[in-house]
Amino acid sequence: MKEWTSFDKISKGNGIWLIDSKGNKIIDAVGSMWCNVWGHSNPQLVKAITKQTKQIQHSSLFNLTNEPVEKLAKNLIKISPGMNKVFYSDNGSSAMEIAIKMALQYWNNIGETKKTKIATVENGYHGDTFGAMSVGYVPEFFGKFKKQLFSTMQFPVPNKYRVPKGFTSSDYQNDCLDKIEKGFSKNNNIAAFIMESGAQMAGGVIIYPKDFQRKISELCKKYDILFVLDEIATGFGRLGSMVQYQEQKSKPDIVAYGKMLTGGYMTMAATLANKKIYESFSGEFYDWKHLFHGHTYTGNPIAAAVANENIYMYEKHNLIKKIQNTSKIFTKYYQEILDIDIVGDIRHKGMLMGIELVSNKEKKIPIRTKKSINKVFFEEGKKQGIYLRTLGNIVMLVPPLAIKEKELEMLLSRTIKTIQAVKSKII
Ligand SMILES: Cc1ncc(COP(=O)(O)O)c(C=O)c1O
């Protein structure tokens, strides 16, 4: 992209601050791509990494295992009701590829070879690899690859800010659920329904209305369809609960975690499956029921060691409660943000806020700027001392989960100043 001619070099991090090679400090409002939990350079997490580095740095999970991953599997199963086994990978997209393969192969393993279709919701996002792009199709991101992606069945998601004419929000939700049920009842070839848990992130910060996810979970059970949830961006406290599917009273067969799993310090993801799924994969070697999937760095012990320390710290510091309390700071700023004449909507849950910018509040027309909106916000944000990224016309606030109240106040008031400054750049 021509507008990015140079990049600031980040050389240090301290708490919520990123520090570049020239010594400039900016607040990490993006949580280093939504994964940072305790802020940067947390001594306990750094210690967990260095300690493990002195033992074994990497050893394969092919034919072998290691202590940190064994411990982490136990930790993950403990926090994930209904889940039975863990399959490791090293990034969220791979965790979702694994979830897709598990779901498709499950039916094959039990002899139901007709169930081969994946159902999803519009504008979901599950990563940038081909399977993940197929099931999480955001047209703006992946339109160029449409022909190469496998086909899925897509259903609408109720977006409270863009309710079609003639509907109330709750009518609209029921309409979306009706469409899903009709789709399920007419097609007996659906292997799995895949969605982000609690909210769509990259697809526009769409926070699901109450009961939406639970009802889909129930429909999946009713029509014998596997329910697969992606908690990579929304689990581990981002939306204010450790496990979103539990808060949503939904029951997945397969769930994926990533991003915040290691506190945002090492690259690791995990795909968890319930007993039913796991057992379908066990058999004699020549039954060929096992899952052919593995990456070089699957189950990296350093990543697992820091993930274990991270999970321990969630409990020790009661982080989820702390997030729920700190999150109230956002609400104090709702009105001030909404009063800005280019703000159409704010969507907030836990430690996530999406601010949708429009050039006309009534017609809800997304703003346009000469350079990309992201670039404009990045430059203006830097002047205010914050690192911001937008998704189209939506400003995303996704700070480190353990951000302090005073720090969040600072972030919000600087964000308001940034939005005000961007007003003059709208075309
Ligand atoms: C919901 C969701 N799933 C999957 C992914 C992909 O994760 P990764 O970037 O680690 O491949 C992301 C990344 O933003 C995500 O938001």
Per-residue pLDDT of the chain (427 residues; tens, 9 = 90+): 899 999 999 999 999 999 999 999 999 999 999 999 999 999 999 999 999 999 999 999 999 999 999 999 999 999 999 999 999 999 999 999 999 999 999 999 999 999 999 999 999 999 999 999 999 988 888 999 999 999 999 999 999 999 999 999 999 999 999 999 999 999 999 999 999 999 999 999 999 999 999 999 999 999 999 999 999 999 999 999 999 999 999 999 999 999 999 999 999 999 999 999 999 999 999 999 999 999 999 999 999 999 999 999 999 999 999 999 999 999 999 999 999 999 999 999 999 999 999 999 999 999 999 999 999 999 999 999 999 999 999 999 999 999 999 999 999 999 999 999 999 999 8
Residue 146 Cα to chain centre, angstroms: 23
pTM: 0.97
DSSP structural state of residue 290: S
Ligand 1 centre distance from Cα of residue 155 (Å): 20
- DSSP H helices, 248-404, are 275-280, 301-316, 319-326, 328-338, 373-384
Centre a 10 Å sphere on the Cβ of residue 318 and count the other Cβ atoms it contains: 11
Ligand 1 centre distance from Cα of residue 288 (Å): 30
Helix axes 319-326, 301-316, angle to 10 degrees: 70
By three-state DSSP, how is residue 187 classified? coil
Ligand 1 centre distance from Cα of residue 420 (Å): 30
Give the binding-site residues of ligand 1, using a 6 Å CB cut-off.
Answer: 91-93, 96, 125-127, 196, 201-202, 230, 232-233, 258
Whole-angstrom distance, CA of residue 340 vs CA of residue 111 = 58
Give the residue from 205, 189, 134, 140 showing the smallest Cα distance to 390: 205
Give the residue from 267, 237, 271 showing the smallest Cα distance to 256: 271
Ligand 1 centre distance from Cα of residue 3 (Å): 25
Residue 347 Cα to chain centre, angstroms: 15
Helix axes 328-338, 319-326, angle to 10 degrees: 30
Torsional sign, CA 336, 338, 339, 341: positive
